[in-house]
Structure 1
């Protein structure tokens, strides 16, 4: 519970205290600690919903914008950890200092398909593109593909998925999304339009998880065309963002689902083959580097 500037407390429910009355000093201290606790980069959106989930901020546009302004001011002063903007980047064709540098980059990036030999073809799906970096940091070594829906998928993206999913073994989608009408419908639409999944495991979010992890809901949009069906399934119209879930919890939910279908012996064999090929590549690079070709 956060105290207001006048010593009173505020309610995290809609209609709580105005943002201007919040005591921001302890909020920003906690915000910095949250960012520092991640082993990957963090977006402002992720940080905001973590603070909302801890009932440190109301789930409003004004509190989001104020958090953005205050953290930006502290970052300019070097007093707050860096955040990442996944929607903007510098686009430049990759280049190298010389041929030796290019070979070193190739060796660093080299990898075989580490899912070779698995009984199933597994994909990790997530509604939020901002969470892809976390999934890559947790499960990238396994070589499992990651797909970010980011809303309803275009037909071009559907076609890309159909062209990527192997047909020689069962395909499994392990997915996490928001708990709201669109969050429940986005993956339904994706699964129906791709039609290539033998099994779909939704690891988050559910009504039970919202209660289990004490994630504070915001009021859903009554004008949403999917609201009636959501209420029929869940009893009330609410909205809870996936970003509000602590990262260690989300990681464990994915891990539990992956473990059910992952063959460690096949993975070990794939790594062994990769190591053999990498040794050959390093030998070739050494020959070229010494001018013996």
Structure 2
């Protein structure tokens, strides 16, 4: 039987401190397997996941201890509070358009080279 709270979580905490970045849970899992503290099975991985969730909820581990490279996030809540705010934003863009105006690179040249490759 694995002593999750007495042995594994303290070792997880020690391993987390040894990284200069936030590792994935899987990285920690394989380190624990390499130390022969747990077996390399899917059920043990799931148990480690559940145990670290509880440890983070109880404040034993940092809530942001692990990075999650699987789940993606959206870039934010974009939109407008009202049609008026949308129109005002569009007008601001229009007012600022001279700052973004550029002429084509070749517009002032007498000739424009065209290169064809096969």
TM-score normalized by the length of structure 2:
0.58
5+ residue gaps in structure 2? 77-118
Question: For the Cα contact (< 8 Å) 2:22–2:66, is it kept in 1?
Answer: yes
Alpha-carbon displacement from aligned partner over 1:86-109 (angstroms, at most 9, x marks no partner)? 11132217xxxxxxxxxxxxxxxx
Aligned to 2:3: 23
Aligned to 2:70: 87
CA distance in 2: counterparts of 1:76 and 1:22, whole angstroms: 20
CA distance in 2: counterparts of 1:92 and 1:28, whole angstroms: 33
In angstroms, what is the RMSD of aligned CA positions?
Answer: 1.6
Aligned to 2:47: 66
Question: For the Cα contact (< 8 Å) 2:9–2:55, is it kept in 1?
Answer: no
Query: Residue 33 of structure 1 is aligned with which of 4, 7, 14?
Result: 14
5+ residue gaps in structure 1? 1-20, 94-293
TM-score normalized by the length of structure 1:
0.24
CA distance in 2: counterparts of 1:57 and 1:32, whole angstroms: 15
Aligned length: 74
Structure (1 or 2) with the larger CA radius of gyration:
2
Alpha-carbon displacement from aligned partner over 1:140-195 (angstroms, at most 9, x marks no partner)? xxxxxxxxxxxxxxxxxxxxxxxxxxxxxxxxxxxxxxxxxxxxxxxxxxxxxxxx
Secondary structure, counterpart of 2:70 in structure 1: coil
User: Which structure carries more strand by proportion?
Assistant: 1
Secondary structure, counterpart of 1:83 in structure 2: coil
CA distance in 2: counterparts of 1:86 and 1:78, whole angstroms: 23
Aligned to 2:82: none
CA distance in 2: counterparts of 1:23 and 1:79, whole angstroms: 15
Q: Which structure has the higher relative contact order (CA within 8 Å, separation 6+)? A: 2
